[in-house]
Amino acid sequence: GLFEQGLASSSNRTYSSAKSCYFKFCRDANLSPYPLSQGTICLFAAFLAQRGLSPGSISTYLSAVRHLDIQSSASTTPRSAWPYLQYVLRGIKRSSQGGPLQRARLPITPAILHQLHLVWDPRSSFLHLLLWTTASVAFFGFLRLGEVTATPGSPPSILAESVAIDSHQSPSIIRLTVSRSKTDQFGKGAWVVLGKTDDDLCPVSALLAYLARRPGPRVGPLLIQEDGQPLTRDFFVHLLKEALGRCGIDSGGYSGHSFRIGAATSAAQAGVPDHIIKAMGRWESEAYQTYIRSSPSTLAAVASSLAGSIGRGTIF
């Protein structure tokens, strides 16, 4: 119904899993799931923390339970009205900071892309061409991997028929249409622009080479395998980690999001203006700044830059 459509499909799946976990917890603990009580929710939060869930994930689970309460048409109590729960959540957050640190997601950099290009030689096989094109488009398009690959219950957001090329004689710009994304739940759509480079790392050259060999008519998901099936996120990430291993790189810190993180990081290091980075990544807030990975030496160099600018600026 309309109530279920109030959440994105991905959120519905997450909430469904969280609700099932809550019901099982209540059964095992011989607690009544309804009506919601501060005591039950505190116990559920502590249970999730013991299972190793992060504070952010626990907050998502509690939001799902509140959604369940709203769905049941029971009288809902805002979380802020339960002060004891607030202290429990603060305690969980502080205790998690003293535990093992979560492994940060690392950026795919241009240097790593060069190594992947050697492993996935696009001239060696169609699969390698597909994988290299995916990596190039994801990086240079500042894309979420789920926008170019298929995930369970969610087809890719970029279709082959949405590809627009500025010139067939001398192509230098390709425009892709992203029909839906994490921050575009109502499907307004957005453009992603890929530019030609004079380098092996060229998304335009990669995509054109792939389109020339793409099987079947140019309709449906942009990135497909030789049998016509969409390239899935899980399959790509599996092969990505395998390729990183062949490059001698520990793949543990890398994920599908590493391309978007790497694009933002590399752009910032190259001096690309903030508003351009925001436009490329389709960020409406300053959230992109959380993706930028700055090394200590880069941060330390800011002092020298500031010192060197003294006397050259305009005094207001």
What pLDDT score was predicted for residue 284?
66
The CATH class, in words, for 2-97 is: mainly alpha
Average pLDDT rounded to a whole number, residues 263-291:
72
What pLDDT score was predicted for residue 25?
87
What pLDDT digit, counting tens, does each position of 214-233 carry?
999 999 999 999 999 999 99
> What pTM value is reported for the model?
0.62
What pLDDT score was predicted for residue 52?
83
Q: Looking at per-residue confidence, does 265 or 299 come out higher?
A: 265
Q: Looking at per-residue confidence, does 162 or 179 come out higher?
A: 162
Average pLDDT rounded to a whole number, residues 245-270:
87
Three-state secondary structure string covering the chain: CHHHHCCCHHHHHHHHHHHHHHHHHHHHCCCCCCCCCHHHHHHHHHHHHHCCCCHHHHHHHHHHHHHHHHHCCCCCCCHHHCHHHHHHHHHHHHHHHCCCCCCCCCCCCHHHHHHHHHHCCCCCCHHHHHHHHHHHHHHHCCCCHHHHCEECCECCCEEHHHCEECCCCCCCEEEEEECCECCECCCCCEEEEEECCCCCCCHHHHHHHHHHHCCCCCCCECCECCCCCECEHHHHHHHHHHHHHHCCCCHHHCCCCHHHHHHHHHHHHCCCCHHHHHHHHCCCCHHHHHCCCCCHHHHHHHHHHHHHHCCCCCCC
Residue 296 reports pLDDT greater than 80: no
Q: Give the domain ranges of the chain.
A: 2-97, 110-266
pLDDT band per the 50, 70, 90 thresholds, residue 71: confident
Domain with residues 110-266, CATH architecture:
Orthogonal Bundle (1.10)
Residue 105 reports pLDDT greater than 90: no
